[in-house]
Amino acid sequence: MKKYTLFFIPVFFFCLSVMNLTLITAENKKAQIISAVSGYTIFIDPGHGGKDNGTSYNTVVEDEINLSIANKIYERLLEDQARVLISRVADYDLSDVYAKNHKIQDLNKRIEYMKNCHADVFVSIHLNAYRDENVSGAQVFYKSNLDESKKFASIMQKNLNQLNEKEKKPKTGDYYLFKNTGKINGIIIECGFLSNSLERKKLTSEKYQKKVAECIHEGIISYFETKGRI
Ligand SMILES: [Zn+2]
């Protein structure tokens, strides 16, 4: 046997064992994630849709970006074998043609949907805008009357701060969705500001939308990992 062959054999088996170990670790991680979300129902809510574009800047509209980010989160959760539902899958709102108030009926339908599917948590995806165009960053909001919502928002905000120039703290908000969902745990995420030119550019790119979705997905998993088994 040649010298280099004698060297090659142990190196080959060493590489094989490292590969095997990496595979086992990845499999364990996957199993942990599946176990963390198992038994829970997660409701993903891409804000606005249809005639309601949400906030906008020239041709850049909030509802399209919300949907793109939300779909990515939804797909990642499906891979985790979670029970996950989404309020809309295309560019429409949930109100009837003859609704007196489209906005309120749309929100009520979303709330009805999440109640009917017995959602344990909801994650509503939005984008922000502000008159001061220097303001940027993802901001998480929680229900002031629910400790679990605050806990969920804190975990999520910490995760999203990886994308933010400046660290943000989760905030409470006087949202219709919060006031009308009773004890259902939930958060609203404003993923960034369309009024900030740099953030607007990033938010319109598929790559950054994916990054935001990955961050939110990780935040959801981290939250359920703290809850333990039910
Ligand atoms: Zn919005």
Q: Which pLDDT score, from 0 to 100, does residue 16 have?
A: 74
Coil, strand or helix at 111: helix
Boundaries of every domain in the chain: 1-37, 39-227
Q: Which pLDDT score, from 0 to 100, does residue 179 have?
A: 96
Phi then psi dihedrals of residue 85, to 5 deg: -125, 155
Please identify every stretch of the chain with a pLDDT value under 70, giving residue numbers as ranges: 1-7, 228-230
Q: What residues have CB less than 8 Å from 83, skipping those under 6 apart?
A: 40, 41, 42
Q: Which pLDDT score, from 0 to 100, does residue 28 have?
A: 87
128 C-alpha to center of ligand 1: Å?
A: 7
Q: Which pLDDT score, from 0 to 100, does residue 2 have?
A: 63
Q: What residues have CB less than 8 Å from 218, skipping those under 6 apart?
A: 159
126 C-alpha to center of ligand 1: Å?
A: 4
12 C-alpha to center of ligand 1: Å?
A: 55
217 C-alpha to center of ligand 1: Å?
A: 19
Q: Which pLDDT score, from 0 to 100, does residue 210 have?
A: 98
80 C-alpha to center of ligand 1: Å?
A: 27
Place of tokens 């009357």: 145
230 C-alpha to center of ligand 1: Å?
A: 33
Q: What is the CA radius of gyration of the chain?
A: 21
Q: Name the nearest CA neighbour of 68 among 178, 166, 208.
A: 208
Q: Which pLDDT score, from 0 to 100, does residue 101 have?
A: 86
The residues facing 115 across adjacent strands are none
Q: Name the nearest CA neighbour of 111 among 176, 174, 64.
A: 176
Residues by chain with Cβ below 5 Å of ion ligand 1: 47, 54, 126
Show the DSSP H helices in the chain as ranges: 3-37, 62-79, 102-116, 147-160, 176-179, 197-203, 206-227
Q: Which pLDDT score, from 0 to 100, does residue 3 have?
A: 64
Give exposure, 167-180, as e/b (b: 16+ Cβ within 10 Å): ebebeebebebbee
Q: What is the mean pLDDT of the chain?
A: 92
Q: Which pLDDT score, from 0 to 100, does residue 1 have?
A: 60
What is the tens place of the pLDDT at every residue in 17-29?
777 777 778 888 8
114 C-alpha to center of ligand 1: Å?
A: 18
In order, the DSSP letters of 50-88 are TTB--SEETTEEHHHHHHHHHHHHHHHHHHTT-EEEES-
Q: Which pLDDT score, from 0 to 100, does residue 171 have?
A: 98
Rounded Cα gap, residues 61 and 150, in angstroms: 29
**Is the domain covering 39-227 a CATH 3.30.70.1400 domain?**
no
44 C-alpha to center of ligand 1: Å?
A: 14
Q: Which pLDDT score, from 0 to 100, does residue 14 have?
A: 76
Q: Which pLDDT score, from 0 to 100, does residue 29 have?
A: 86
46 C-alpha to center of ligand 1: Å?
A: 9
213 C-alpha to center of ligand 1: Å?
A: 16
